[in-house]
Structure 1
Amino acid sequence: MNSFFAVLNPIAFRLGGIEVHWYGIIIAVGVVLAVYLSIREGKRRGLKEDDFYDLILWALPFSIISARIYYVVFEWSYYSQHPDQIYRIWDGGIAIYGCLIGAVIVITVFCHYRKIPEWLLLDVVAPTVIMAQGIGRWGNFMNQEAHGRPTTLAFLHSLHLPEFIIQQMRIKGVYYQPTFLYESVWDLAGFVVLMALRHRPKLFKRGEVFFGYVIWYSFGRFFVEGMRTDSLMLGSLRVSQWLSVILFVGAIAWLLHRRYWQPLAPWYLEGVTKYDKKNEE
C-alpha cells in the first residue's frame, strides 16, 4: 500500500519550460470559488457585480505581494542570503496574515473611492475568504509544508486518515503532524457556520459577519500555530500566535462597541440602504 501511495509530485504539469505547481492551482481554485460565491451574495445585498471584478484585479496581486513581503520580512535571515528566492512564491512561503492585511487595505481604499459600504462588502466576502483559506491549505499539503512536529505512524492511523495523507506526511523518513489538515478543517467548518447563520434575521448587524470570521479564524489559528515547526518568529515569539490574540480580542471588543454604542447600524440583511445610495450620489 505504501508503494502505491507514494509522495505526491508538487508539479502538476509542464508547459514547455514552465512548471505549473499544484500549490498555485489549488489556491487559484479557492480564489475563483470565493469570487463566484461573493458575487452571488453581493447581488442579493445590492452590490454591483462589476465592482467585485474590479476589486479582485487590485486585491489579488496586492494581497499576494503583501503576503510574500510579510513572510520574507520575518525570514530575512534566510532571504538576505538568498535574494534570488524572494520571488519564488510557487515553492510556498506566503503568510496568510500578510495576505489578509493587504486585502483589507485594498478593500478600504476601493470602497472609499467607489462609495461602497465597506463593512457590508467585508461581510459578503468574509465566509468565502475562510473557505478559500481552507482550500489553500491543501497547496501546503502538496508542498509538504505547514506541518507539525514529528509523530508516529500509529498516531496518524489513529486519526483514521486516508493513506495518501499519511504518506504525504512522511518527509525524509519521518512522519509529521498534519497541521495543514487541522487548519483546513477548522476553516471549512467556519465557512459552514458563517453561511448557516448569515441569513438569519436580526442576528448580524453590518460588520459582524466579518468580525465573526476574524474571531473564528484567529482562535483556531492560535492553537494550530502552536503545533507547527515552521512558524515565523520574532525573537522567541511566534508572530502568528501573538497576532491571533490581538485580532481575537480586538474583534470581540470592536463587535461589542458597534453593537452597543452604534445601535443604529443597519442589519446585514438590509444590504445597501437608502442612506448608502444617497452617499453614492
Structure 2
Amino acid sequence: MSLPLAPLGLSIPSPSSAWQYLDLTAIYNDIFHQNATFDVRIHMYAICILAGIVAAVLFTNARLNRRGAERWVIIDLAIWCVPFGIVGGRIFHVVTHTDDYFGPGKNWVTIFYVWEGGLAIFGALIFGAIGAWLGCRQTGIRFWVFVDALVPGLMLAQAFGRLGNYFNVELYGTPTTLPWGLQVPSSNAAYPVGLPAGTLFHPTFAYEILWNLFGLFVILLINKNVKLEWGKTFALYLVWYGSGRMWFESIRTDYSDVFFGLRTNVWAAMGAVVLGIIIFLVQSRRHTGLVPSAYAPGRGPNEAGFQPVITGEVDHPEVDSSGDLAGDDDDADEVAPATALHR
C-alpha cells in the first residue's frame, strides 16, 4: 500500500546543490573579473557550525560576565571546549555509523571529512565536558557555573547545527502527509528505496531547531524567576533535550547502529534524561544556597589585585540568571539561605 503524497503548497523545499556551499572561486572571479580555475568552497554546514560556536561564545560570555567572571574568560574556556567537542562529536558519530565508513566500497579517510556532516551532539557533550573541566581548572571558573551559563548558548548552537543538516539535505524523518513535509530529491543518496518521487518526509531538523529554541525560552524564563544553580540549569537542559531527541531520533531514516531494537542515539537521549534527573536531585540535596562566586576559592582575579568585570544588574552579588558551581571545590561556601526565588 503506497503512501499518499502530501500537497506541496506548504512543503519545505530542499536546497539545491548551489546552496550547499559558498563557491569562493566563483565569487573571486566575479569580483575581480578573473578566470581562476582553483576550487575553493566553504560548505554551508561548516558555516552553520561556526555561527553556532560564535553565538554560544557571545551568549555565554555575557552570562559569565554577569556572574562576576573576568571579561572574555570564555575564550580561554572555548579553546578547550570547542576542539574537544568537535572531536568527540565526530568520534561518537563514526562509532554509531560504522557502515558509513568501513566495509566494501567505503573509504575510511572520509572519517575526517567533518564538513560533509556527522557531528553527534552526545559525543560533543561528553568530550566537551572534559574540555570544560580542563578549561575551568586553568581559569579558576567553577565547572558548574560554566556549564549552567553555557546552556542557552549551547541550545542556540545546536539550532544552528541542525540548520546545517538542512543544507546538507540529511537526517530527515519518515514519510509524512503533513503539509510541512520536506521535499527530498529521489536522487539523494539516503532516499528510501521503493518510495515514489515526490514523497514528503518529516523535517526532523526543523523539529529539533524549534525544540531547542523553545527550550531556550523556557529555561531563560525559569532562570528569571527561580535560581537554578550548582548545575541544575544544565540538568534541566539534559532532561529537556533528551526528552525531545528520543522522539526525533525514533522517526529518522538515516542509518544508525541499533541495540535491543533502539537506535544508539535513542539510548543516549534516555541516558541524558536520567543523568539530568540525577544531577538535579543530587545537587539540590547538596547545595541549598546560592553560588558565592563564579570562581573557585582563591582563584578569583580580584584576589590577584584586580576586580572582575561585572555588567548588567543582578539580584544577588556575583550571581546571574544562570545557576552554576564548578571549579575544583564543589563544597565551597555557599551564599546563605536557599532564597530560590528572585525578588
* TM-score normalised by L of structure 1: 0.85
Task: Report which stretch shifted further, 75-84 or 184-193.
Answer: 75-84
Q: Does 1:278 align with 2:298?
A: yes
Contact 1:206 1:265 (8 Å CA) reproduced: no
Distance 1:107 1:76, change over 3 A: same
Two-structure CA RMSD over aligned residues (Å) = 2.2
Q: Does 1:74 align with 2:96?
A: yes
Name the residue aligned to 2:87: 65
Contact 1:231 1:238 (8 Å CA) reproduced: no
Contact 2:229 2:290 (8 Å CA) reproduced: yes
Task: Report which stretch shifted further, 208-217 or 81-90.
Answer: 81-90
Shift of 1:196: 2.0
CA distance in 2, matches of 1:49, 1:231: 43
Contact 1:225 1:231 (8 Å CA) reproduced: no
Pairing partner for 1:20 from 31, 39, 42 = 42
CA distance in 2, matches of 1:37, 1:171: 40
Contact 2:156 2:213 (8 Å CA) reproduced: yes
Name the residue aligned to 2:75: 53
Pairing partner for 1:8 from 6, 11, 16 = 16
**What code does the residue aligned with 2:241 have?**
Y
In structure 2, runs of 5+ residues without a counterpart are 1-7, 26-37, 188-196, 304-343
Contact 1:44 1:271 (8 Å CA) reproduced: no
CA distance in 2, matches of 1:25, 1:279: 36
Name the residue aligned to 2:254: 230
Pairwise mapping of residues 213-252 of structure 1 onto structure 2 (< 5 A)? 213-230=237-254, 232-235=256-259, 236-252=261-277
**What code does the residue aligned with 2:236 have?**
G
Shift of 1:238: 0.8
In structure 1, runs of 5+ residues without a counterpart are none
Contact 1:144 1:171 (8 Å CA) reproduced: no
Q: Does 1:29 align with 2:51?
A: yes
Q: Does 1:189 align with 2:214?
A: yes
Q: Percent identity?
A: 29
Shift of 1:49: 2.7
Shift of 1:237: 2.9
Name the residue aligned to 1:257: 282
Contact 1:37 1:128 (8 Å CA) reproduced: yes
Task: Report which stretch shifted further, 44-53 or 124-133.
Answer: 44-53
Name the residue aligned to 2:315: none
Pairwise mapping of residues 60-139 of structure 1 onto structure 2 (< 5 A)? 60-80=82-102, 81-139=106-164
Shift of 1:272: 2.6
Shift of 1:170: 4.4
Structure 1 or 2, whichever has the larger Rg, is 2
| Cα offsets for 1:130-157 (capped at 9, x unmatched) | 11101210110111111001234xx2x2
CA distance in 1, matches of 2:280, 2:39: 50
| Cα offsets for 1:87-136 (capped at 9, x unmatched) | 11111111111111111110012212332111001110111101110121
Shift of 1:279: 5.1
| Cα offsets for 1:183-214 (capped at 9, x unmatched) | 110011111111222232x5313211111111
